[in-house]
Structure 1
């Protein structure tokens, strides 16, 4: 029985340690979409292009843009690439974000990528979004004045979509949200949302945590049995 008790305390310690690790990761991550915008602006200024205003209304629309793909990674890029209809911006995206229709502004560029596994924002930028010379051209365009970024899994798991929308709107007068706060929707994170967001990757972390716990319970059952 003493041996079983030892295993029980080890398992409890393991659970607490895993939970603490997840909490630390959440604090470090905060909002991956904000990190992506920071990476974009760093790369723009390094190439002598202006830094872009992070517009939360545009960013919320970027998350809605992701959701329009309904988790189908196969239609992002390549010969089957598709784009949501322009009409969806006024009919669906803006209302879902509480963006005032009269403030919708031209989209001057977009970067969209998708893959099965979640990666850090810096890697998403270099390995997923910067796929070719066209992507670099879009990134460095001097037509952009503002940016909105979003990341989301499908129902909290893979595949993971990354979306960046650029616009030539004027700060504080384009993609204006009612009440000053864009609607938060899950799963997913968007830049400028003023909240610590790990919604895009939270499920994968919880699954990893439960794998540890379940494995420990199996081991504990083995000890009790023998």
Structure 2
């Protein structure tokens, strides 16, 4: 009986430690995407861009506009939100002061069924042709905002990057200087870990651990 109790305690500690490690995962893939963009720009002798949380939140609203329809991104059925939606829908949903909206100088958008790491999304999804590279290295940009989100608790996964030529202190200004956090998905500059479908996909890695724990518990109690 004593041995079974020890096994039970070890299982509890193991599962708790694994959950603790998972809870410490606070990386935001949208921030990592911005880092990849700036690294690529500076390597090409272009200036680094300011990471604007207001613009990034709007990038997430841009994604949500597609309502999970991956076929509307690229190809013959490609769609693009109307400019009026930025002031009428995107900005209010983010808490961005409409009067501070600045023209978008470039946009990169990608979608695929499987989730990709930020570096892979940058290289394999967003940088798909010469036009994308031209947009990336344009000297007209001064700020950038990125967002990533899944749909329906999983794929397809959307990646969106918006560029603007506004000034960091005067464009895409947030009411109260705090962005409205929108779920699911995440955006750069929000000081918020990725949530919703993306974060949920990470928890799948815990299932093997949980299964092993349950098996050990069953053994300990003689089930």
For residues 86 and 9 of structure 1, do their structure 2 counterparts lie closer, same or farther at Cα, with a shift above 3 Å needed? same
Q: Runs of 5+ in structure 1 lacking a partner?
A: none
Post-superposition offset of 1:130: 0.8
How far the C-alpha of 1:150 sits from its partner, in A, is 0.8
TM-score, normalised relative to structure 2: 0.88
Contact in 2 for aligned 1:63/1:151 (Cα 8 Å): yes
Secondary structure at the aligned position of 1:8 is classed as helix
Deviation at 1:108, TM superposition (A): 1.0
How far apart are residue 111 of structure 1 and its match?
0.7
Structure 2 equivalent of residue 16 of structure 1? 16
Equivalent residue for 1:92? 89
Residue 25, structure 1, aligned to residue 38, structure 2: no
Q: Secondary structure at the match of 1:25?
A: coil
Normalising by structure 1, we get a TM-score of 0.87
1:50-77, CA deviations, whole angstroms, 9 ceiling, x for partnerless residues? 1111111111100100111112222222
1:199 aligned residue: 195
Cα contact 1:155–1:187 (8 A) shared by 2: no
For structure 2, the 5+ residue unaligned runs are none
Mapped to 2, the partners of 1:2 and 1:158 lie a distance apart of 47
Residue 75 of structure 1 corresponds to which residue in structure 2?
Answer: 72
Q: Number of paired residues?
A: 222
Contact 2:5 2:220 in 1 (8 A): no
Distance 2:150 2:171 in 1: 27
